[in-house]
């Protein structure tokens, strides 16, 4: 067997211009870019967070309460 490919095609490098986001999710998102997280750490409650995340500790549900032991790694 040969190491040569029968249909050699060069690997294309990623583009770094406005074509990069087409037709990705950036094209469907609002223009104000508020949906993107900030590049720096923020205080709790400053940005929207997922339920049960460390930045939203007051968010509770039965499912999260049932998983609390696993989330803490078994530490009490």
Residue pLDDT, tens place only, 25-67: 555 566 776 667 777 887 776 776 665 566 666 667 788 788 8
Closest C-alpha to 35, from 25, 24, 43: 25
Per-residue pLDDT, 38: 72
Q: Which two tokens stand for residue 54?
A: 């460390």
């Amino acid at each position: 067997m040969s190491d040569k490919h029968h249909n050699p095609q060069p690997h294309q490098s990623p583009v770094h211009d406005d074509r990069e986001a087409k037709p990705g999710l950036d094209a469907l998102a609002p223009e104000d870019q508020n949906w993107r997280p900030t590049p720096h750490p923020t205080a709790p409650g400053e940005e929207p967070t997922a339920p049960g995340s460390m930045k939203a500790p007051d968010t509770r549900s039965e499912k999260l309460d049932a998983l609390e032991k696993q989330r803490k790694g078994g530490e009490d």
